[in-house]
């Protein structure tokens, strides 16, 4: 549709006014941050300040706040905490991390976790400790193991809403509720797309993924938002998701396949969940195992278990086992 000269002029004027307003807000936030950091810098218990969130890498608006990570000295009297500060009329969300905790977070956190992404996209404002600057520089590296774990977590998180979508489509033919579950899954699928590309997945992960795989995310995201829902396009979205996961299953769920291969025998769901939570901080892996078993990539069996420590009978617990050679990875 072609705009009239008057409409075009009004749009241009509106855009210019919005740009001026945004610039004014940005300036107000920067000035508030500068004032606060000047005060904090004189605090001997604060070793460094890291600006996170929208002000560090995006555009703020009137309802934004400032996210600020403050690295503190290592002292029993200084514990991790979260504070709501107020600087020149601007809300500041400050979270305190003792130096040892910060080091542990940087060196031990799974890359592409929320904390890692928040810090990695931040800006170091100042530091009194050069080792903190070195740690900040390390935040941008993503190792292969970290990538595998992050992919597993994202893909596993996507499976539950995908199953729900299939259920509501098959049992109720409820197109609206099916589409809602697909949209829930879309965010986790976007994380897999971004992480697989070696990028940092942040809160705006869907726009990131749209740039990487526009055809797929048009089908499972924007079309479901903007078009009338029909059996054909909802079924098409489900089929696209099923194909997406199937094509990448060996890569997305590689740690599970690896774990069962190394185990060499059946492992119960309790054992699997405990191992992945303890070693990789990933939960819900039973769902991933069910998916892999449905696709014939692992076997579904059972092992005896006593329900309580005082039980005098055994029942069967769901378990999974590797079937042989690993499938070729994509």
- Answer whether residue 53 is part of any domain: yes
State whether 190 and 220 are in the same domain: yes
Decide which of 19 and 185 is more confident.
185
Decide which of 292 and 145 is more confident.
292
Q: Does position 22 have pLDDT exceeding 50, yes or no?
A: yes
Instruction: Lowest mean pLDDT of 51-60, 103-112, 177-186, 189-198, name the range.
Output: 103-112
State whether 92 and 161 are in the same domain: no
State the pLDDT at residue 113.
59
Q: Does position 8 have pLDDT exceeding 60, yes or no?
A: no
- Answer whether residue 276 is part of any domain: yes
- For the chain, what percent of residues have pLDDT higher than 70? 87
State the pLDDT at residue 330.
36
State the pLDDT at residue 59.
79
Q: Does position 16 have pLDDT exceeding 60, yes or no?
A: no
pLDDT, tens only, 56-100? 877 778 788 899 999 999 888 777 788 999 998 899 999 999 998
Residue 182's Cβ-count burial label (10 Å; 0-12, 13-18, 19+) is: buried
- Answer whether residue 4 is part of any domain: no
Residue 9's Cβ-count burial label (10 Å; 0-12, 13-18, 19+) is: exposed
* Domain final residue pick, 77, 104, 138: 138
State whether 228 and 316 are in the same domain: no
Decide which of 186 and 26 is more confident.
186
State whether 258 and 227 are in the same domain: no
d(CA 40, CA 54): 21
State whether 123 and 173 are in the same domain: no
pLDDT, tens only, 296-306? 999 999 999 99
* CATH number for the domain that contains residue 130: 3.30.460.10
State the pLDDT at residue 6.
53
pTM of the model: 0.70
Q: What is the DSSP string of 252-285?
A: HTHHHHHHHHHH-S-EEHHHHHHHHHHHH----H
Q: Name the residue range of residue 110's domain.
A: 16-138
- Answer whether residue 221 is part of any domain: yes
- Answer whether residue 235 is part of any domain: yes
pLDDT band at residue 121, thresholds of 50, 70 and 90?
confident
Q: Does position 241 have pLDDT exceeding 50, yes or no?
A: yes
**98 Cβ contact list (under 8 Å, min separation 6):** 71, 72, 73, 74, 75, 78, 79, 80
Cβ-contact 52, 68 below 8 angstroms: yes
The arithmetic mean of pLDDT across residues 29-48, rounded, is 93
Q: Does position 325 have pLDDT exceeding 60, yes or no?
A: no
State whether 246 and 259 are in the same domain: no
State whether 71 and 95 are in the same domain: yes
Q: What is the DSSP string of 177-217?
A: HHHHHHHHHHHHHHHHHHHHTT----TTHHHHHHHH-HHHH
Q: Does position 225 have pLDDT exceeding 80, yes or no?
A: yes
Q: Does position 161 have pLDDT exceeding 50, yes or no?
A: yes
- Answer whether residue 5 is part of any domain: no
d(CA 165, CA 238): 8
State whether 150 and 246 are in the same domain: yes
* Domain final residue pick, 251, 279, 304: 251
Tally of structural domains, the chain: 3
The arithmetic mean of pLDDT across residues 46-62, rounded, is 85
pLDDT, tens only, 129-160? 999 998 888 776 566 788 899 899 999 999 99
Q: Of 208, 190, 204, which is closest to residue 154 (Cα–Cα)?
A: 190
State the pLDDT at residue 108.
60
Decide which of 134 and 118 is more confident.
134
State whether 197 and 236 are in the same domain: yes
* Domain final residue pick, 74, 103, 138: 138
State whether 206 and 275 are in the same domain: no
* CATH number for the domain that contains residue 240: 1.20.120.330
State whether 169 and 209 are in the same domain: yes
d(CA 208, CA 215): 13
Return mean pLDDT, the chain. 87
- Answer whether residue 160 is part of any domain: yes
State whether 25 and 117 are in the same domain: yes
- Answer whether residue 59 is part of any domain: yes
């Amino acid at each position: 549709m072609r705009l009239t000269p008057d409409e075009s002029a009004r749009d241009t004027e509106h855009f210019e006014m919005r740009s001026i307003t945004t610039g004014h807000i940005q300036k107000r936030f920067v000035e508030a941050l500068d004032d606060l950091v000047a005060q904090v810098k004189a605090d001997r218990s604060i070793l460094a300040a890291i600006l996170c969130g929208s002000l560090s890498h995006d555009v703020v608006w009137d309802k934004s706040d400032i996210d600020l990570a403050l690295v503190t000295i290592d002292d029993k009297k200084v514990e991790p905490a979260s504070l709501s500060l107020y600087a020149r009329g601007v809300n500041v969300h400050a979270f305190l991390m003792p130096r040892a905790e910060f080091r542990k977070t940087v060196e031990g956190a799974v890359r592409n976790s929320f904390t890692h992404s928040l810090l990695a996209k931040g800006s170091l404002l100042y530091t009194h400790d050069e080792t903190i600057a070195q740690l900040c520089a390390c935040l941008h590296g993503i190792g292969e193991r970290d990538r595998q774990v992050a992919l597993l977590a994202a893909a596993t998180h996507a499976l539950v809403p995908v199953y729900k979508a299939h259920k509501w489509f098959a049992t109720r033919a409820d197109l609206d509720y099916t589409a809602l579950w697909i949209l829930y899954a879309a965010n986790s699928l976007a994380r897999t797309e971004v992480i697989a590309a070696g990028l940092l997945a942040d809160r705006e992960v869907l726009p990131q993924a749209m740039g990487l795989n526009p055809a797929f995310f048009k089908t499972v995201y924007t079309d479901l938002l903007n078009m009338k829902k029909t059996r054909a396009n909802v079924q098409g979205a489900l089929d696209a998701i099923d194909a997406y996961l199937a094509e990448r299953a060996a890569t997305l769920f590689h740690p599970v396949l690896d774990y069962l291969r190394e185990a060499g025998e059946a492992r119960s769901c309790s054992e699997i969940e405990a191992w992945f939570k303890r070693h990789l901080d990933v939960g819900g892996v039973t769902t991933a195992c069910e998916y892999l078993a449905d696709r014939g990539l692992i076997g579904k069996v059972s092992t005896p278990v006593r329900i309580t420590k005082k039980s005098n009978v055994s029942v069967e617990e769901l378990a999974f086992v590797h079937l042989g050679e690993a499938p070729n990875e994509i």
